[in-house]
Amino acid sequence: MIKIENLSRAYRTSEIETLALDNINFEVKEGEFVAIMGPSGCGKSTLLNIVGLLDNPTSGTYRLMGHEVESLKEKDRTRLRKGIIGFVFQSFNLIDELNVRENVELPLTYLPDISAKERRRRTDDILVRMNLSHRAKHFPQQLSGGQQQRVAIARAVVTEPKLILADEPTGNLDSTNGNEVMNLLRELNDEGTTIVMVTHSMHDAGFAKRIVNLFDGNIVSSIPVHL
């Protein structure tokens, strides 16, 4: 599903150049659950952004589901991302002005050829599944952290994406809510969704099938997790 070869990402200022990713090779097969770990500043989030088509590499190649995507323009990256990739963030990133239902429905509104009726059906289904139906009309500020992250996951999966990218999904949650979220991700993976997750937590990484360790922009190890 994801194939990255000799990929680098450098950030330049007028005086210095910082290499966030240094000539890495990385592959994720369909149905995998990969945890990316490493110290702060090692390039985890940069890699996730490039995988999620939010950023372009400086050099190297990246194939997503067979498409060459490393040099796509913003417009094309958006088009390819729609409905294929779902995002889950550490700080949930819900829109405060939209209620739970509207937040979850958001990605569907940007997909073509989906009727309002179909959008409503899919949203209702996912709210039921995430046990959020009773909170559909609540606004993010009225929810607990765990509930907010469940809304964020619901939003990420409502388009039935093939790939979910999670950036420290339990970083802002207590252990009970964190476990709940990880179980959800695991459940989604079991149903066939590919998941790439950045985390600092060994506990969370234990839910993955493989752990990739990054250090100073290089992949230093890729270890299968034995459940």
Partner 1 sequence: MNKLIYILRVLRRSPWTTAIKVLSLGLGMAMCVFLLDMFLFIVNYDKGYRESDDIYQIFMQYSFTTTGEVHAPSEQTYGPTARAIYENFPNEIEAAVSTAGNGGKVNYNDYEQYIGRTAVADSLFFATLGIEVLSGNPVKDLAMQDVVYLSDASAKEIFGSEDPMGKTIKLNDIDVTVRGIYKEPPLNSSLKPSAVLSFPTYLNRNWRYYGFNGGDAYPAYVRLAPGTDVGDLNKRIGKLFNEIIPPVNGTKLDIFIRPLSDTYRGYESTKILFTVSVILGLALILVTALNYALMSIASLSKRAKAIGVYKCSGANGSTIAGMFLLETAVTLIMATGVAAIVLYYVQKYIETIESVDVRWILSEYRWSILAVFAILFLLGGLPPARLFSRIPVTQVFRRFTERNSVWKKALLFVQFAGITFVSCLLCIVSVQYSTVLNHDLGYDSSHLIFGNCNNIGDNRSALWNYIENQPYVESVSRTESVPAYGYSGEFVRGDGNEVLFSTRINSAASGFVSTMGMHLVAGRDVENTMDAEAVVNEEFMRLMHWNVDSAFSGGNQPEVKIGGDIIKVVGVVKDFVIGDYMQPVMPYASINIPANRNEFYTLVLRVKEPVAENSKKLAADIPETFSGVKASFADMPSVIADRYTQVRFFRTIILVTSLIIMFIVLMGLIGFVRDEIQRRSKEIAIRKVNGAGTSDIIMLLCKDVAFVAVPSAVVGVAAAWWAGGLWLERFHISPANLPLYYILAGIGILILILACVAALSHRTATDNPVNSIKSE
Query: Which positions lie near partner 1, rule CB under 8 A?
Result: 49, 52, 54-55, 74-75, 78-79, 81-83, 87, 89, 91, 93-97, 106-107, 110-111, 155, 159
Contacts of 117 (CB under 8 A, 6+ apart): none
Decide whether 90 or 201 has the Cβ nearer to partner 1.
90
The answer to whether 177 and 210 are in contact (CB under 8 A) is no
User: Residue 154 CB, nearest distance to partner 1 (Å)?
Assistant: 12
Query: Cβ of residue 30: shortest distance to partner 1, in angstroms?
Result: 21
Give the residue with the Cβ less far from partner 1, 6 or 109.
Answer: 109
Residues 224, 31 contacting (CB under 8 angstroms): no
Residue with smaller CB distance to partner 1, 55 or 124: 55
Token representation of residue 162? 């093939």
Please give the sequence-ordered ranges of beta strands (E in DSSP) within 139-217, or none if there are none: 163-167, 194-198, 210-215
Residue closer to partner 1 by CB (options 78, 183) is 78
SS3 31: coil
**Least distance in angstroms from the C-beta of 142 to partner 1:** 15
What gap in Å lies between CA 17 and CA 113, rounded to an integer?
A: 44
Q: How far is the CB of 75 from partner 1 (least distance, A)?
A: 6
